[in-house]
């Protein structure tokens, strides 16, 4: 089997309705979608990605009214956030209803949901009429795809169809927020919606301090090694003083002087713009990986706004 790449939304909806797997574009990254309420279809996602079953999936819906069918209780804070940020790169973790298969939530009592802000994802959700479970469409632990070609490179022979919606606008995954019925929300993963914007709506948000105890319970997918290219990545304060610079590929959020000395260079944004840097991040990591450099050196962004999401992905790429 080698998946066809197409722009035919009706064909993709038909595959999903018959229990198949479709890669779909979203504003963040490409997702690997299946009918969220069909455990056999969902099981195929884990198989195609080599994803461990303890890592739960995000359920995508077309509109907020579909939440009632999936979620047992919608706290006020969640309603406010949904109104303000959906469709968009924000995932809310809420108490689940029994109809949501345990496979989707890895046995947790909560389900992660979001409405993607991409016309093709919206069209597919509406045409199929289904809630769609979709993790990022990459092999487990590897760099997330931001184009249909990226998906094909890793998954073409493991899935049914790739729906092409062009390059993803945001380029990093959604922000994941656990919203309990009582108490403060907790940030589980920084992403395309800045923490500051969320706090402006619901007040102070806890930031998950990862420990061996709370990761399995609260955020089982937040393994530290992730987003990893094959070439080892090292985080540095500065690119000056790297030994044998020609052997290094460098990844910088903004401009770098004297780039000719390095083996390969990826400047994420010449203007040092964080939104542009996020949109380029994963494609840049993939390109560096292909140049044959021995190592990749990267510098972090200021830890604010989208910089948090970019830094999180770089730290995890750096294992
Ligand atoms: O932007 C995105 O979020 C993309 C697009 C396709 O929507 N999806 C994505 O999915 O990044 P994935 O599977 O690569 O990351 C989802 C993460 C999981 O690793 C897991 O940690 C967390 O979401 N998650 C899912 N359900 C959860 C739950 N019930 N409780 C806590 N964390 C959950
Ligand atoms: Mg992922």
pLDDT tops 80 at residue 303: yes
Query: pLDDT at residue 226 above 80?
Result: no
Residues 10-15: what's their mean pLDDT?
Answer: 98
Is the pLDDT assigned to residue 50 strictly greater than 70? yes
Please state at what angle helix 274-290 crosses helix 306-317, rounded to 10 degrees: 20
For range 185-206, the mean pLDDT = 97
CB 275 within 8 A of CB 168: no
* pLDDT above 80: residue 122: yes
Confidence of residue 91 (pLDDT cuts 50, 70, 90): very high
| Nearest ligand to the CA atom of 171 | 1
How far is 264 from 261, CA to CA, in rounded Å?
Answer: 9
Confidence of residue 194 (pLDDT cuts 50, 70, 90): very high
**pTM of the model as a whole:** 0.96
Q: How far is the CA of 58 from the centre of ligand 1 (A)?
A: 5
Please tell me the number of the ligand nearest to residue 140's CA: 2
Q: Is the pLDDT of residue 269 over 80?
A: yes
| Residue percentage of the chain with pLDDT more than 70 | 97
Name every protein residue with a CB atom under 6 angstroms from any ligand 1 atom: 26, 28-29, 31, 55-58, 89, 91, 93, 105, 108, 110-112, 116, 134-136, 173-174, 176, 188, 219-222
Q: What is the pLDDT of residues 101-114, one digit of tens each?
A: 999 999 999 999 99
Tell me which of 46, 56, 60 to substitute to probe ligand 1's pocket, judged by most ligand atoms within 8 Å of the beta carbon: 56
Nearest Cα neighbor of 293 from 253, 266, 257 is 266
- Residue 224's pLDDT is 67
| Beta carbons within 10 angstroms of residue 99's beta carbon | 11
266, HSE (Cβ side, Cα atoms, 13 Å): 26
């Amino acid at each position: 089997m080698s998946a066809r790449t197409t722009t035919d939304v009706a064909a993709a909806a038909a595959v999903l309705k018959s229990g198949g797997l479709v890669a779909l574009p979203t504003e963040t990254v490409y997702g690997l979608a299946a009918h969220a309420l069909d455990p056999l279809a969902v099981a195929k996602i884990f198989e195609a990605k080599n994803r461990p079953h303890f890592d739960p999936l995000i359920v995508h819906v077309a509109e907020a009214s579909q939440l009632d069918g999936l979620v047992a209780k919608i706290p006020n804070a969640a309603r406010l956030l949904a109104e303000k940020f959906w469709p968009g790169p924000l995932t809310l973790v809420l108490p689940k209803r029994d109809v949501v298969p345990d496979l989707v939530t890895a046995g947790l009592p909560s389900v992660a949901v979001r409405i993607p802000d991409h016309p093709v994802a919206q069209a597919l959700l509406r045409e199929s009429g289904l809630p769609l479970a979709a993790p990022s469409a990459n092999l487990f632990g590897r760099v997330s795809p931001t184009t249909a070609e990226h998906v094909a490179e890793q998954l073409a022979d493991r899935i049914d169809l790739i729906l092409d919606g062009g390059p993803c606008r945001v380029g990093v995954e959604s922000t994941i927020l656990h919203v309990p019925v009582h108490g403060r929300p907790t940030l589980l993963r920084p992403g395309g919606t800045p923490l500051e914007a969320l706090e402006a709506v619901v007040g102070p948000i806890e930031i998950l301090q990862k420990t061996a105890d709370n990761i399995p319970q609260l955020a089982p997918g937040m393994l530290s090694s992730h987003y990893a290219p094959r070439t080892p990545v090292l985080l540095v304060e500065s690119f000056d003083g790297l030994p044998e610079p020609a052997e290094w590929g460098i990844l910088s959020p903004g401009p770098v002087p004297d780039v000719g000395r390095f083996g390969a260079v990826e400047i994420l944004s010449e203007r040092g713009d964080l939104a542009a840097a996020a949109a380029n991040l994963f494609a840049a990591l993939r390109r560096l990986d292909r140049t044959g450099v021995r190592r990749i050196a990267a510098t972090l962004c200021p830890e604010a706004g989208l910089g948090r999401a970019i830094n999180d992905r770089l730290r995890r790429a750096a294992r």
